[in-house]
Chains A and B, each alone.
Chain A
Amino acid sequence: MNLLLDILTTASVLFIVTAGLTMIFGVMKIVNFAHGALLTLGAYASVVVTQLKLSPWLGLPLALLAGVAAGMLIEALIVRPLYRRPLDAILATWGLGIIIGQLIIFFFGREVQFAQSPIKGALALAGTEYSAYRLALVPLALVLCAGLSFLLTGTRFGIKTRAVIMNEDLASGLGIHAGRIRFVTFSVGAALATGAGMLITPLSSVDPGMGLTWLVGAFMLVMVSGQSMWSLLLTCLVFGACQVVVSTWASPVLGSLTIPLFAAVALRIRPQGVARA
């Protein structure tokens, strides 16, 4: 039972952390190395809320707001000229990640920060105590997945987005404003990243380097899953389960190797990813 809960909650955390990257990297094909820095930025929204002695829940809207603002700025100033130069975009976003990290150090300092958690304590569930916050992340991940999936496949905006990514010239010819679509999609992706950063603060230390530890794993998961939110959820579930099982039955040191290892194997068998049939 405990193992099952570990698997479900780990998969939920992985999904929340990678959803923003799926928008930017999976859908828009921009290799966004600033994803880690955006996670960190969102976590610092929690720190600000804690320092202002406001309700920890307010951290989420603040993080989303900061993410949208950062996303709009980054898209307009840095990413827009680089859509046709993917290698330059890698360098630019990597550098951007460093800049965001240094700005955070400049304003908040290098040390570990304290942030209030919105949900505390444990719940008694099927004979065992389990972290209430981790449990709350499971429905949140499901709702997020359903919502984003609907946005990408069930709305006009989603159809336009996919049209722009598939064939920008043709889409423009049909009267779709490609620039605006990219602008909005990137901003949504950035806001998902900062929101995730805020959501992981109750589980993680808040320091300028915190986002970096999630970056590589997030890229692996998105590369394996492709561009669909449901396939991302499935990937997170499978890989999260592998990580938890290996950590539990073997050792956590080996467990932390499972995602990179299985991602390499999965991409060898199916280089195009799960959802790019």
Chain B
Amino acid sequence: MHKLIPLIRVGALATATVFALQAGAQSPQPIKIGVAVGLSGANSVVAPAVVQSSQYAVDEINAAGGILGRKVQLEIVDDASGAVGAQKAFDTLVFQKKVDAVIAMETSAARNAALPTITRGKVPYIYTSFYEGRSCNPWMYVNAWVPEQQVAPVVDYFSVALKAHNFFLVGNDYAFGRGMLEFTRKTIEKAGGKVVGEEYLPMDGSDWTAVLSKIRAAKADALISATAGGAPNVSLAKQLQSSGLNIPYANLAIDEGTARSMGDVAAGMYMSSSYLTTIATPENKAFIAGMTKRFGGDLKTPNELSEPQYEAFYLYKAAVEQAKSTDPALVIKALAGVSFVGPRGEIRMNKNRHTPLPMRLGRIQADGSITILQTFQGVDPGVQCPLLK
């Protein structure tokens, strides 16, 4: 057995030499960017749109000559929508595929599980999903919204434009629901409004009868909800609509796709978002037209989770070009300074690794489309990671 080892060593050395020679003879190595996404599991509803956004960004960048003359190569790995899967996926990307950067949306649990891998591998990571805020890592940047940015436009519009004073808050009894509404309460009180009631239903609860009666009894003049996505969101909207309660209602947990699938049940609902397909900028129109041309009938509607993915590739490109290298430490330094004007507007991740964002307050129409009522430019993410420069 021992005699074999030197033989293997020689063999490995020879193979490595051949590869090295080949590589030297060819065009420069591509830049590998890893995308971990939930192709299976709960995120599989949104994953195809995320993959398309990534492919489209890479195609565009390569067609324009790549980054520093090097082509970009996409490495897509399934994270099974969960923490364990994300750990494996990031491990594969960082240590086997040896990617130069990771650009990925993840659930908060999956992100927290995967971050140690990023730290160990020292790979720049751009996180592209909105989340509850204050996740800090020297190798991570975030280009999506945090509660500070999503809640403020709603409260602002309700109290200024609609003159609402008495707010009622409704949510599901879990971390996101409680966290969002606690933050909403603070924002309302800061704006001079009053919270006249706050009620929660368990995640699997579907009967909002008593809650609706309380809203009526409290004489609230505006309602803000942070339920779990999907079922509780729909049951609340249905029961609210048929109850005859006619007060402005903002939903912090609804996205464009869900609004469309709910038909006229969501009509009149307010929502706050950084990306909507109806944004009327030339950048967004070009983005939608380009995506439609590239994917045709297979196009998955771009959304709040898939569009930041597109912008993140350009932010990484700008950082590498500024650093004139893919060296992780240099790229991380450069990422704080670069900016990209994308479909959402200008993105510059210079606030504690987070970015000020243009936020849109939209109202859902009877046909499921969303009218943008007001755009709030450069909404600040607040203090997120004060210890990271």
Whether A and B are associated in the same complex: the answer reads: yes
Q: Which residue of B lies closest to A13 (CB)?
A: B207
Assuming the contacts A205-B232, A255-B210, asked whether A131 and B239 have C-beta atoms less than 8 A apart, the reply is yes
Query: Which among A9, A13, A128 is the interface contact of B216 at CB below 8 angstroms?
Result: A128
Does the CB pair A130–B243 fall under 8 Å? yes
Contact with A along B209-220 (1 / 0, CB 8 A): 111011011000
Say yes or no: A113-B261 contact (C-beta < 8 A), given A252-B201, A256-B201: yes
List which A81-133 residues lie within 8 A (CB) of chain B.
110-114, 116-117, 120-123, 128-133
Q: Which of A2, A110, A209 contacts B45 (CB 8 A)?
A: A110
A140 CB, nearest partner CB in chain B, Å: 16
Using A2-B217, A251-B199, A256-B201 as known contacts, say yes or no to A133 and B242 having CB atoms under 8 A apart: yes
Within 8 A of A (CB), among B189-223: 199-202, 204-211, 213-214, 216-217
* Closest chain A residue, CB of each to CB of B208: A252
Assess whether A247 is interfacial by the CB under 8 Å rule.
yes
Q: CB of A62 within 8 A of chain B? A: no
Separation of A121 and B246 alpha carbons in the complex (Å):
11
Q: Are A247 and B210 in contact (CB under 8 A)?
A: yes
Given A2-B217, A205-B232, A256-B201, also A10-B209 (CB < 8 A): yes
Q: Are A202 and B238 in contact (CB under 8 A)?
A: yes
Supposing A132-B242, A205-B235 touch, asked if A248 and B230 sit within 8 A by C-beta, the answer is no
A252 and B205 contacting across the interface, CB-CB below 8 Å: yes
- Cβ of A174 under 8 Å from chain B: no
Nearest CB of chain A from residue B35's CB, rounded to whole Å? 22
Do the beta carbons of B231 and A9 come within 8 Å of each other?
no
* A3 touching B244 in the complex, CB below 8 Å, given contacts A112-B261, A114-B262, A203-B239: no
Is A182 positioned at the interface, with any CB of B under 8 Å from its CB?
A: no
Contacts of A248 in B (CB 8 A): 210, 213-214
Residue B233, interface by CB 8 Å: yes
Which of A2, A114, A133, A243 is packed against the most chain B CB atoms within 10 Å? A114
Query: Are B211 and A252 neighbours in the complex by a CB distance under 8 Å?
Result: yes
A52 contacts chain B at the CB level, 8 A cutoff = no
A240 to B232, CA, bound (A): 20
* CB closest residue in chain A, given B230: A112
Given A251-B200, A253-B173, CB of A3 within 8 Å of CB of B213: yes
Residue B234 at the A interface, CB < 8 A? yes
Given A121-B242, A133-B242: A112 touches B234 (CB 8 Å cut-off)? yes
Interfacial residues of chain B within 54-110, with CB under 8 A of chain A in the complex:
none
Is A75 located at the chain interface by the 8 A CB criterion? no
What are the residues of chain A within 8 A of B207 when measuring CB–CB?
10, 13, 203, 243, 256
| Partner pick for A204 among B213, B238, B258, B262, CB 8 A cutoff | B238
Give chain B residues whose Cβ lies under 8 Å from the Cβ of A112: 230-231, 234, 258, 261-262
Inside 8 A of A113's CB, which chain B residues have their CB?
261
**A123 surroundings in chain B (CB, below 8 A):** 244
The reply on A244 being an interface residue by CB < 8 A is: yes
Could you tell me the distance between the alpha carbons of A132 and B241 in the complex, rounded to whole angstroms?
Answer: 11
Query: How distant is A182 from chain B, measured CB to nearest CB, in Å?
Result: 32
In the complex, what residues of B have CB within 8 A of residue A204's CB?
A: 206, 231, 234-235, 238
Number of interface residues of A (CB under 8 A): 43
Which listed residue (B232, B234, B244) contacts A131, Cβ 8 A? B244
A residues near B262, Cβ cutoff 8 Å: 112, 114
In the docked arrangement, what's the CA distance between A6 and B215, Å? 13
Contacting pair B216 A252 (CB below 8 A): no
Contact call B199/A114, Cβ cutoff below 8 A: no
Q: Which residues of chain B have C-beta atoms less than 8 A from A209's C-beta?
A: 231
Given A114-B262, A203-B238, A247-B211, check contact A122 B243 (CB 8 Å). yes
A210 in contact (CB, < 8 A): yes
In the complex, the answer to whether B244 meets A129 with C-beta atoms within 8 Å is yes
Q: How far is the CB of B82 from chain A (nearest CB, A)?
A: 16
Asked if B269 is at the interface (CB within 8 A of a chain A CB), the reply is: no
Q: How far is the CA of A206 from the CA of B217 in the complex (A)?
A: 29
B23 at the interface (CB under 8 A from A): no
Q: Establish whether residues B242 and A6, one from each chain, have CB atoms under 8 Å apart when the complex forms.
A: no
Shortest Cβ distance from A3 into B: residue: B213
Q: A205–B243 contact, CB under 8 A?
A: no
A205-B230 contact given A120-B242, A131-B244, CB 8 Å threshold: yes
Query: For the complex, what is the distance from the CA of A130 to the CA of B231, rounded to whole Å?
Result: 23
Q: Which single member of A2, A133, A205, A207 contacts B213 (CB below 8 Å)? A: A2
A168 to B182, alpha carbons, bound, how many Å?
Answer: 61
Type the 1/0 row for B224-237, where 1 means its CB is closer than 8 Å to any CB of A.
00000011111100
* Given contact pairs A203-B238, A205-B230, A207-B231, A2 touches B216 in the complex (Cβ within 8 A): yes
Q: A213–B204 contact, CB under 8 A?
A: yes
A35 interface contact, C-beta 8 A: no
Closest B residue, CB atoms, query A133: B242
Q: Say if the beta carbon of B265 comes within 8 Å of chain A.
A: yes
Residue contact A131 to B211, C-beta cutoff 8 Å:
no
Docked complex Cα distance between A147 and B232 (Å): 33
Complex CA–CA separation, A234 to B173 (angstroms): 31
26 contacts between A and B (CB under 8 A): A6-B209, A110-B45, A112-B261, A113-B261, A114-B263, A116-B263, A122-B242, A122-B244, A128-B216, A129-B244, A131-B242, A133-B242, A202-B242, A203-B207, A203-B242, A205-B232, A205-B238, A210-B206, A213-B204, A243-B210, A251-B200, A252-B211, A253-B173, A253-B201, A255-B210, A256-B205
Residues of B within 8 A of A (CB): 44-45, 173, 199-202, 204-211, 213-214, 216-217, 230-235, 238-239, 241-245, 258, 261-263, 265
Q: Contacts A133-B242, A213-B206 given; 11 further ones with Cβ under 8 A?
A: A6-B209, A13-B207, A113-B261, A114-B262, A120-B242, A121-B244, A122-B244, A131-B243, A205-B232, A244-B210, A252-B199
Interface residues of A (CB under 8 A from B): 2-3, 6, 9-10, 13, 110-114, 116-117, 120-123, 128-134, 202-207, 209-210, 212-213, 243-244, 247-248, 251-253, 255-256
